[in-house]
Amino acid sequence: MRTVRQLLEAKSLDIHSVAPDTPVVDAIRLMAQKGIGAVLVMDGPRLAGIVSERDYARKVVLHGRASSTTPVSVIMTADVFTVGPDDTVDRCMVSVTERRIRHLPVVRDGHVEGVVSIGDLVKAVIEDQQLELDQLQRYIAS
**Residues 99, 128: Cα–Cα separation, whole Å:** 24
DSSP H or E segment with residue 6 = helix 4-9
- pLDDT surpasses 80 at 134: no
Give the pLDDT mean for 100-113. 95
C-alpha to C-alpha distances, 86 to 30, 59, 94, 96, 110, nearest whole angstrom: 29, 33, 15, 16, 15
Give the domain CATH number at 41: 3.10.580.10
- pTM, to two decimals: 0.88
Determine the pLDDT at residue 49. 97
The whole-number average pLDDT for the span 41-49 is: 96
For residue 141, what pLDDT is reported?
Answer: 83
Range of the domain at 16: 4-141
Angle at 59 between CA 110 and CA 73, to 5 degrees: 35
CA distance 7 to 86: 11
Taking 90 as the threshold, does the pLDDT of residue 130 lie above it? no
Average pLDDT rounded to a whole number, residues 43-70: 93
In whole angstroms, how far apart are CA 34 and each of 39, 50, 64, 86?
10, 16, 26, 27
| Percent of residues in the chain assigned helix, strand, coil, to nearest 5 | 45, 25, 30
Mean pLDDT (whole number) for 51-55: 94
Work out the percent of the chain whose per-residue pLDDT is above 70. 100
Q: How far apart are CA 106 and CA 4, in angstroms?
A: 8
Average pLDDT over residues 83-97: 96
Is 51:115 a contact under the CB 8 Å cutoff?
A: no
Average pLDDT over the chain reads 93
CA distance 32 to 140: 47
Residue 51 has pLDDT above 90, yes or no: yes
Q: Give the Å distances, CA to CA, from 109 to 7, 85, 95, 96, 112.
A: 19, 11, 20, 22, 8
The answer, yes or no, to whether residue 133 has pLDDT greater than 90, is: no
Q: For residue 136, is pLDDT > 80?
A: no
Structural domain total, the chain: 1
Q: Is the pLDDT of residue 79 over 90?
A: yes
pLDDT at 54: 92
